[in-house]
Amino acid sequence: IAPPAILADPAPAAVLAALPGGRAVGGAVRDVLAGRPVADVDVAAPFPPEEIAARLTAAGLRVHETGLAHGTVTAVLAGQPVEVTSLRRDVVTDGRHAVVAWTTSWREDAARRDFTMNALSLSAEGELWDYFGGRADLEAGRVRFVGDPATRLAEDHLRALRYFRFQARYGRGDPDPAAVEAIRGAVPFLSRLSVERIWMELKRLLAAPDPAEAVALMEATGVLPTVLGPATLGAPGVLGALAAIGAPADPMLRFDALLTHGAAEAARRLKASGEEVARLVARYRAGHDILPIQPAIAVGGPDDDALRRLLADQPRDRLLDAAWLRQAVNRAWGWQGPDDPAWDRFRARLAALPIPTFPLQGRDALALGVKPGPEMGRLLAETRRWWMEDGCTADADACRRQLAEMMKAIHTKTL
């Protein structure tokens, strides 16, 4: 093929020049052939890891040896990292850990890769090696295992999840029946996978432009219910509806859409980050505020005061998430709700309004003579409630006056 421009970038070019016989491998080659943007180039070379590190260092590249035991080093040039791996062949695997040996055979290295479209290699000059028909599979939209699917899954069960990631991005038409059957057979073993790896793969799958079909297949094969554990799957159409209404291709929003209830609990079980779990919890809360205002949204409301109240209580991004999700759920279940343009207008207004912040703090109350303690907290909360009901527009002076009045009222009552 024509020498791809990406291999002429300074870092890959320097790496390939330092390693005679080295080739680009894996995702970069696949994406060059598919005409897709290539993020980073992985290179393989027929030398043991220490020799690769030595050759790269001699060529003036900065080399990180963190993955040396696994046969991988990272070379960096002009801030661009390139992963460089020795050719490997599997010796034994137990489904989770592979013991590898170095080899000089490109075919052996390709044979241990998961899918034919991931087993291609390419020289800087544009010579392509395709030992297992990966190019034809890529062109046909066929995600096919290298070798016997059941054997390859028994070696590494994670491949069952990786399958759906690649199916979502490159699959077209009917999925490979042999792959699907073998994946069904591997379902009982998926509970052995670490939840961290499951979560990482799920997010990658959900980052695809339109993962709905692959996710439906994942559900039909029993893989999705198994990896999600005791979570309630939502309506199958919600993910597709999200794409249809033009929601952002956001893996977290899509994960939320997969589960009508308990997305946060499911994420916690999968050891998602605290930030990710918090986001799902906050979206759930924001959803409670969106649900009752649907009739108002349908007729162009609610008014700015009500919108400011929402924004004072819930993070803007979570309200937007909740609006996307509610719109998609309505559509998937065939429920009547605001029409699509009404939702768009609502989101545009939500996005445009400045976020109101309550103008008083503890020291304002102190300055007004309130003693620190529970009474101060109560007074500030009361004043904030008044500020909210008023539409979140009252300034600090107006709020101070209100607080002073409330203080007077309390003291009159207690007297």
List residues binding Mg ion (CB under 5 A).
Answer: 27
Spatial contact of 75 and 56, defined as CB atoms under 8 Å apart = yes
Determine the residue with CB nearest ligand ATP.
Answer: 27
How many Cβ atoms from other residues are within 10 Å of residue 379's Cβ? 20
Q: Which amino acid is at 68?
A: L
Q: How many CA atoms lie within 13 A of 36 on its CB side?
A: 14
Interface residue with ligand ATP among 26, 149, 237, 338 (CB under 6 A) is 26
Q: Binding to ligand ATP by residue 159, rule CB under 6 A?
A: yes
Pick the closer one to Mg ion by CB: 115 or 284. Answer: 115
Encoded tokens for 231: 């979570």
Pick the closer one to ligand ATP by CB: 33 or 399. Answer: 33
Q: How far apart are CA 183 and CA 264, in angstroms?
A: 27
Q: Which amino acid is at 1?
A: I
346-385 footprint of ligand ATP as x/- string (CB under 6 A): ----------------------------------------
Geometric angle at alpha carbon 22, from 20 and 23, rounded to 5°: 145
Pick the closer one to Mg ion by CB: 31 or 130. Answer: 31
Encoded tokens for 90: 């599997």
Tell me the window of 151-159, 309-317, 318-326, 400-408 that interacts with ligand ATP (CB under 6 A): 151-159
Q: Binding to ligand ATP by residue 142, rule CB under 6 A?
A: no
175 contacts which partner out of ligand ATP, Mg ion, none, CB within 5 to 8 A by kind? none
Q: Binding to ligand ATP by residue 156, rule CB under 6 A?
A: yes
Interface residue with ligand ATP among 23, 55, 88, 113 (CB under 6 A) is 113
Q: How many CA atoms lie within 13 A of 28 on its CB side?
A: 25
Determine the residue with CB nearest Mg ion.
Answer: 27
Q: Binding to ligand ATP by residue 27, rule CB under 6 A?
A: yes
Q: How far apart are CA 257 and CA 229, in angstroms?
A: 16
Interface residue with ligand ATP among 72, 86, 116, 118 (CB under 6 A) is 118
Q: How many residues bind ligand ATP (CB under 6 A)?
A: 9
End-to-end Cα separation, the chain, in angstroms:
91
Q: How far apart are CA 72 and CA 64, in angstroms?
A: 9
Q: Which residues bind ligand ATP (CB under 6 A)?
A: 26-27, 113-114, 118, 156, 158-159, 162
